[in-house]
Amino acid sequence: MRAYVVSRLAQTALVVFLSLTAVFAMVRLSGDPVLLFMPMDIQAKDVNEFRQRLGFNDPLPVQYARFIGGAVRGDFGESLRYKQDALGLVLGRLPATLLLAGTSLLLTVVVAIPLGVASAVRRNSLLDHVGTVATVLGQATPGFWLGLMLIYIFSVKLRWLPTGGMGGLAHLVMPSVVLAAFLSARIARLTRSAVLDVLGEEYILTARAKGLGEGRVVGKHTLRNSAIPIVTLAGLEIGQILGGAVITETIFAWPGLGRLTVQALLNRDFPVVLAAVFFISLVYTLINLAVDLAYGWLDPRVRLR
Amino acid sequence: MVPAGHGRGEAREAQPSGLGQVPCSVKDLKAWLGIGLTAAAIVVALAAPWLAPHDPLKADFVQSLRPPGAPGHPLGTDQLGRDLLARVLYGARLALFIGTCTVLITAVVGGLLGLVAGFVERWPSAVLMRIADVQLSFPFILLAMTINAIVGLGLRNIILSLSAAGWVVYARVVRGEVLVVKQRAYVEAAAALGMGRARLLFRHILPNVAPSIVVVASLQFSSFIVAEAAISFLGFGVQPPTPAWGSMLSEGRDFLYVAWWLAAFPGAALALTALGVNLLGDWLRDTLDPKLRV
């Protein structure tokens, strides 16, 4: 287990370093970064002064070393718009995103996994068919459209919920439902097929043959063995919550990381873009690491590969 | 980006087992619904100029913000008096065009890279797979949007940025398949007979991994059109006045209080198209490659 953990950690460190390089390359390979940073109507003299001040006149390797050196210390430069430390700005928006993502995740686990298990155990029942229709629709419905329709129904027509912003519990309802909808559909489907897979195994037949109650067959023999694919895919999907948050936060004016990234892209505030994109990829990579480690713990055969 | 893939459970569904269940028609129903919706979207996209009752770009301020059912405008009009039905129909054209281009580019580029990476096990493959790892450490939509914001807006650039963000899935799946296929006896036999490497790769290995490429392409298609709409919705994609579903939704958002139809219909069209393509993709996977987990 130890060698496995160490090798996964080393791989993760490499990916983080390479993604930092990718973030640098994305901005540098796309032409003159100063022109990306600046408004369209800037004078040539100002461009040159700005270029000098930010060090864009230095050779590329020097700039790269400086960028990596700064990034290691958490210094991505200063936001061009807010005149604040870019990473500080990103971290300041983190709690809002964590609250939203956490609530959606809780909602997903509470709804999707029991639904998936029940659909598999009572296959072809009414519940299973309703569940299948719901998950297929949930997967196809774009979150931003669902969000707009919910705003129309619950804010414009019924006036039950606020249209956006962050405040009490009422503000959290629609964004977390929208963010959870897609994820729940995926995880419910996956849970259903993982449980069905296990229910067809011979040891389940054996357990039933020796007279074990259905509760124990499902609760103990089935769930434990279907946990591996569920954890794997759920982990990958949890990472996608961060991508989904970009859109959901924009629709509901939720003051989180995703909305900050969209605004920074629109304002050409590239220090903030770099910090935010890198931070999101870091979190995403760490989630994947955690999933892999959980996988090794759930299924010891994995470590031997 | 990673559609729920699961083989055995779904495959087993076709066999009747136990009492009191609906016969296997549910699966067929889903497949037919998928084929029907996809076919409808393709017909609408191809025939938009003949189906549309008006020019999608022609403004008529006298007729602005008419509700659905207004004379001559079955789905109503937008803030500039443009016919919403015409715009939704032309939107299908754009969405399917972007989806098709992106799927073709990613399938060819990702597929070729995956073929080579699986066949040639030397350092270029390792480098390629590390690049894939790095790219997968960014959420798909965020990566595509960031690339788009950097390379610039517009139709061509959104196809490029979606392709740049999307090729990885093919490369991974195809490489994995090639690693298995190339150890089969017939491939080794062909190599032993002195067949060239290119011929081996394209005549004996490619046809055996092609079904996976088709399945991944069909599953990716709907995520591409939804991603395009999301990026256009956020303002980084196709720009108004071009009738793209995403930018129409973004305009509809500003008029949500007075004209619900502006947001409702383009989004419904997008959801139905995505639903059709998803169901078609599921059916293709169950038929061609039930073990594939994408």
| pTM for this predicted structure | 0.83
Of A145, A193, A229, the CB nearest to B271: A145
What average pLDDT does this structure show over B174-196?
Answer: 87
Q: Residue A38 carries which DSSP code?
A: S
In this complex, is the C-beta atom of A12 within 8 Å of any C-beta atom belonging to chain B?
Answer: no
Name chain B contacts of A15, Cβ cutoff 8 Å.
130, 133-134, 137
Q: Determine contact: B142 vs chain A, CB below 8 A.
A: yes
Block residue for tokens 């405008």: B73
Q: Which residue in the block uniquely carries the two structure tokens 């797979």?
A: B129
Q: CA–CA separation, A71 vs A283, rounded Å?
A: 15
Cβ atoms of A173 and A107 closer than 8 Å: no
CA dist A174 to A161, A165, A184, Å? 8, 11, 15
Asked if pLDDT for residue B12 goes beyond 50, the answer is no
B151 → closest Cβ in A30, A142, A186? A30
CB A115 within 8 A of CB A131: yes
Q: Is the pLDDT of residue B248 over 70?
A: yes
pLDDT digits (tens, 9 = 90+) for A61-117: 888 888 888 888 888 888 877 888 888 999 999 999 999 999 998 999 899 989 998
Instruction: Give B-chain residues touching A132 at CB under 8 angstroms.
Output: 26
- Where helices occur in chain A by DSSP H, the ranges are 2-28, 33-37, 44-54, 60-72, 86-121, 126-140, 143-150, 169-199, 202-209, 214-216, 223-251, 257-266, 270-298
> Of the given ranges (A178-192, A233-247, A277-291, B112-126), which has the lowest mean pLDDT?
A233-247
pLDDT of residue B103: 95
pLDDT tens figures, B14-45: 444 444 444 456 778 888 999 999 999 999 88
Task: Tell me how far apart the alpha carbons of residues A128 and A287 are, in angstroms, rounded to a whole number.
Answer: 31
Count Cβ–Cβ pairs < 8 Å, chain A vs chain B: 162
Is there a contact between B146 and A273 if contact means CB atoms under 8 Å apart? yes
Interface test with A, best of B142, B179, B222 (most A CBs within 10 A): B142
State the nearest Cα–Cα gap between A60 and chain B, in angstroms. Answer: 19
Arithmetic mean of pLDDT, A265-288: 84
Cβ contact A243–B139 (<8 Å)? yes
Mutation for testing the A interface, residue in B13, B22, B38, B137 having most A CBs under 10 Å = B137
